[in-house]
Amino acid sequence: MEKEIQRVREEKVTKEEIARAIKQARALFAYGSENISNQGFWLGYSEMFANYEWFLTYLEKLSKVTVKDVQRVANEYFKPQSRVVGVYVPTEGQA
Amino acid sequence: MASTNHKSALPGPNDIYREVLPNGITVLTRSNFNSPSVVISGYFDAGAILDTDEKLGLADFVTSALMRGTKQRTFDKIYNDLEAVGASLGFNSGVHRSGFHGRSLSEDLPLLLSLLSESLTQPAFPKVEIEKLRSQILTGLAIRAQDTGDMASMLFDEILFKDHPYARPEDGHPETIKRISRDDLVKFQRENYGPRGMVIVIVGAVKPEEAVRQVKRALGGWQVKGQKEAPALPEVKLLKKTVSKSHKIAGKSQSDLVIGTNGPKRKDAEFMSTLIGNSILGQFGMMGRIGDVVREKSGLAYYAASSLNAGIGPGSWEVSAGVNPKNVKKASELIISELKRFVDEGVMADELTDVQANFIGRLPLSLESNGGVANALLNIERHDLGLDYYHRYEGLVREVTREGILTSAQKFIDPDKLAIAVAGP
C-alpha cells in the first residue's frame, strides 16, 4: 500500500488510467442520477460545499482532469504527516 | 386525484415494448433517457428443481461458475472488461429458474450482452477456478451451518414442504457440493441451458428497437436442440397437525424461530388480499401486529416480522423472530396467539386503509430507478400479469376488503397446523 501511494505521488499515472477512472466515475454518476431521490440528494449535498451548479457541471469538469492534476492532488493530500492509520489487534486468548 | 396524474409515469402498455424472438427469447424494454445508464435483467429455465438429491447445489454451482471464464475471455479479463467501464454483471439461481442482472452506461450495452451471451452459451469452467469456487461455496455452507436464522429457515422448509422440491436448500449441502465434478457442470449447462423460456429485460437510455436489435445480435442465433424441460411440480402435502422441530448450534447466544404455514401461489386470486393481510400482520410500520406484540410490548425479540413468499408453486406464509434462547417458548406462544386473533377477528378498518395507502404510495418510489422498473417488468412477465398491471395496481389494492383478508387468512392459516422451527443453543 505504501509503495502504491508513493508511486502515485512520484510517478505520473498514465493517460489510459485517467481515461479508465473518468469512465468509471461517469458510469457511477449516471447510476446515481437515475432516480429522483438521488438527484435531490446531490442537489442538496452540492449546496453544502459549493452550489447546485457543481452537480450540473460535474461531468464536464471530470472530463478535463489531467495527469498533472492527479499528481498535484496526490502530493497535496497523500502526505505521510496527514495520515491516520487504524489497526485492529486481536484480544489475547480469543480466536 | 393526484394518483391519476402519476399513473402515466408508471410502466404500461404505452411504453413497455415486448417481442418474442424466433428462438424463443422474450425481450421486454422500456426507455428512460433521464440518465445515460441501462440495466439488463432476466431469467432462464434452469433452477435447483433440476438437481438430484445426490448433487443438490449443482444448478447454483453452475451459475456461480459461468463468469469464471468463457471460451473467449479468462476470469480476469471478464472482470477487467466490466470494471474498466464501471459496469457490472452477475448470475443467481433459484428453485425454478436462474437469473442475471447487470448495468452499464448505455454505450456499453453491447459489452454486457456479449458477456451475457458468452457466459450462457460458452462457459469454459476452468478447472482451477472451479476448485476455488468449490472452496468458496463450502465456506459459505460452513457459515450457514453457524447461522441460527439460516438454519431455522432451512428446518422450516423441511417441515412445511416434506417430500417436495421446495424442502431442499438450493445451495446444497457440503457433501453434495463435494460430489459435483467439472463434467457435471458442463453436462448441466449443455442439457438445460437454452433460449426457450428465457426472458431479457432492458431498461434505460436505449430505444426499444435498438435494444431488441442488440439482443438479437448477441443471442438471436442461440439454438439448443432437445433443451430439457423442468419436471412437473408435485402437490404440496398440507400439515395435518402442528409439527415442531429444533436444531442445536452450540455456543450461540440467540435463537431464531420460524412459525408458519403454506401460502398462496402468485397467480392465486387471493394473492393481493393475503399480501395486504400479511403487511398488517407483520410488516407495516414497526413490523405490524407481530412486531408490536412480540417486540415493542413484550420486549421478547431482537426482530419479529411476517413474510409471504408466493411464487410459481405454493409458497409459505411465515413469522420469524430472533430471540433470547430462554424466551423461545414465550415468543412462540405470543406469535401463535396473534395468528389466532388474525384468523378469528381479521383486521380493523383503519389498519386496512393505512396499508392500502402505503402500498399505493410506495409504488412510484419502487419504480424510480432502472433496476426497479426492470424488476417490475420481470414480475409482469414471470407471473403473466399483463402489461397494464401497474396501471391497474391501485384498483387491485383498493378492491381488497376486510372480509377478503379474513377469508384468505382462514383459508391458509390454521393455528393448529403450523410448522415451527427453532435453531439455537
pLDDT in tens, B86-96: 999 999 999 99
Which of B31, B32, B35, B38 should we substitute to test contact with A (largest number of A Cβ atoms within 10 Å)?
Answer: B35
What is the number of domains present in chain A?
A: 1
Please give the radius of gyration of chain A, using alpha carbons only, rounded to the nearest integer.
18
pLDDT of residue B3: 46
Find, among A9, A18, A4, A14, the residue nearest to A63 by Cα: A18
pLDDT of residue B5: 58
Q: What is the pLDDT of residues A15-74, one digit of tens each?
A: 999 999 999 999 999 998 888 888 899 889 999 999 989 988 998 999 999 999 999 999
Secondary structure class of B74 (helix, strand, coil)? strand
Q: Where are the beta strands (DSSP E) in B32-125?
A: 37-44, 88-93, 98-105
Q: What is the pLDDT of residues B113-162, one digit of tens each?
A: 999 999 999 999 999 999 999 999 999 999 999 999 999 999 999 999 99
Say if A89 falls within a structural domain. Answer: no
**What gap in Å lies between CA B381 and CA B344, rounded to an integer?**
36
Contact A26/B at CB under 8 A: yes
pLDDT of residue B1: 42
Which candidate from A20, A23, A33 shows the least CB-CB separation from B35? Answer: A33
Contact B356/A at CB under 8 A: no
Q: Are B307 and B318 contacting, i.e. CB atoms less than 8 angstroms apart?
A: yes
Mean pLDDT score of chain B: 95
Task: Take residue B386 and report the three cell numbers written for it.
Answer: 399483463
- Which residues on chain B are in Cβ contact (under 8 Å) with A16? none
- Which residues on chain A are in Cβ contact (under 8 Å) with B108? 27
Say if A56 falls within a structural domain. Answer: yes
Which residue ranges form the domains of chain B, and what is each CATH number? 12-219 (3.30.830.10), 243-424 (3.30.830.10)
Would the pLDDT of B198 be above 50? yes
Q: What is the pLDDT of residues B297-351, one digit of tens each?
A: 988 889 999 999 998 888 999 999 999 999 999 999 999 999 999 999 999 999 9
Would the pLDDT of A4 be above 80? yes
Ramachandran angles phi, psi of B339, nearest 5°:
-65, -40
Say if A90 falls within a structural domain. Answer: no
Which of B40, B79, B101, B105 should we substitute to test contact with A (largest number of A Cβ atoms within 10 Å)?
Answer: B105
**Cβ–Cβ below 8 Å for B86 and A26:** yes
Which candidate from A23, A33, A36 shows the least CB-CB separation from B84? Answer: A23
Q: What range defines the domain where residue A41 resides?
A: 2-78
Say if A85 falls within a structural domain. Answer: no
Say if A53 falls within a structural domain. Answer: yes
Q: Are B309 and B282 contacting, i.e. CB atoms less than 8 angstroms apart?
A: no
Would the pLDDT of B2 be above 60? no
Q: Check which CATH number belongs to the domain holding A26 and give it.
A: 3.30.830.10
pLDDT of residue B55: 98
- Which residues on chain A are in Cβ contact (under 8 Å) with B35? 30-31, 33-34
Q: Is the ipTM reported for this complex over the cut 0.90?
A: no
Cβ burial B314-325 (10 Å sphere, 16+ → b, else e): bbbbbbbbbbbe
Percent of the residues in chain B that have a pLDDT greater than 90, as a whole number: 92
Ramachandran angles phi, psi of B353, nearest 5°:
-60, -45
